[in-house]
Amino acid sequence: QKEVEQDPGPLSVPEGAIVSLNCTYSNSAFQYFMWYRQYSRKGPELLMYTYSSGNKEDGRFTAQVDKSSKYISLFIRDSQPSDSATYLCAMIPYGQNFVFGPGTRLSVLP
Amino acid sequence: DVKVTQSSRYLVKRTGEKVFLECVQDMDHENMFWYRQDPGLGLRLIYFSYDVKMKEKGDIPEGYSVSREKKERFSLILESASTNQTSMYLCASSTGTGGVGEKLFFGSGTQLSVL
C-alpha cells in the first residue's frame, strides 16, 4: 500500500460545478497537509496549507482534514476553466521529507 | 514572493553526456530538493540538502549527483545521461523549520530529453 493514495482521475466537470479532490494516507505521523496545483509543463504551486483537523477556507477553495480517518480533501466551488490543472496532495511528518500523492488531473469545461 | 529559478525550461542531450541542471532560490531557505516527475509515477525525490556542502540521497539517487557550494544554489548532475533519465526535473526549497510552517516551493521545471 502506498503511503498516500489519491483519486486517480482524470476528472471532467462543467464550469460552475463543485469539485471534490481526495487523498487518503496510512501514516498517522503525518502532521501537516498541503495542496498543490500544477498547470501543464509548469512546476507545482502551493495552494493550501493546513495542520489541524477541520476546514480551512481561502476564497473558492476549502481544505478539509480528518486525521482520525486519515483523509484530506480539497473542495473547489464555482469551478472555472482556469482551475484546469493537476492537483497534488502533500503531507509531512515532523522533521522528515514531504510525501506526495500521484495527482488528479482536473478539466473544467466551459 | 518566494522564487525558485531553474536555469533551463527545456534541454535536449545525447546519451553519455554530462548534464548540469542549475537551481537558485532567493528566500534564504535552508533546504533544497531535486525531484523528477514522470507520468503515472508522480514526484520522486532524487537528492536533498539541509545545508551548504551537505547532501542526502532521496529515493532514486542512482545515476545522479548534486552540489551545493552556496546556500542559494543547488545543482543536479547527470554523470552520463541515459534515455531513461528523460523526465521533468523539479527543484524545490523549503523553510527547514521541520514543523508548523514548513512549506515547499517549486521552480518551473526543466524538461530534459536524452536522445
Torsion of CA B96, A70, A51, A99, to 10 degrees: 20
Q: What is the pLDDT of residue A94?
A: 72
- What residues 58-97 of chain A have any CB closer than 8 A to a CB of chain B? 88, 90, 92, 94-95, 97
Helix (H, G, I), strand (E, B) or coil at B92: strand
Predicted confidence (pLDDT) per residue in A73-106, tens digit: 999 999 999 999 999 999 988 777 888 999 999 9
Residue A83 is predicted with a pLDDT of: 97
Chain B contact set for A101 (CB, 8 A): 42
* Closest to B71 measured CA to CA, from B45, B55, B47, B53: B53
Q: What is the percent of chain B with per-residue pLDDT over 70, rounded to a whole number?
A: 93
Give the pLDDT of residue B46: 96
Of A31, A41, A43, the CB nearest to B106: A43
- State residue B10's pLDDT score: 95
Distances (CA, A) of B112 to A51, A109, B36, B85: 35, 31, 10, 8
Question: What integer is the mean pLDDT of A11-29?
Answer: 94
- Single out the residue of A103, A106, A27, A20 nearest to residue A63, CA to CA: A20
pLDDT in tens, chain B (115 residues): 669 999 899 999 999 999 999 999 998 998 999 999 998 788 999 999 988 988 999 999 999 999 999 999 999 999 999 999 999 999 999 876 666 667 889 999 999 999 9
Q: Residue B27 in contact with residue B105, Cβ under 8 Å?
A: yes
Mean of pLDDT over chain B? 92
How close A69 gets to chain B, by Cα (Å)? 21
Q: Residue A43 corresponds to which cell in the numbers above?
A: 512546476
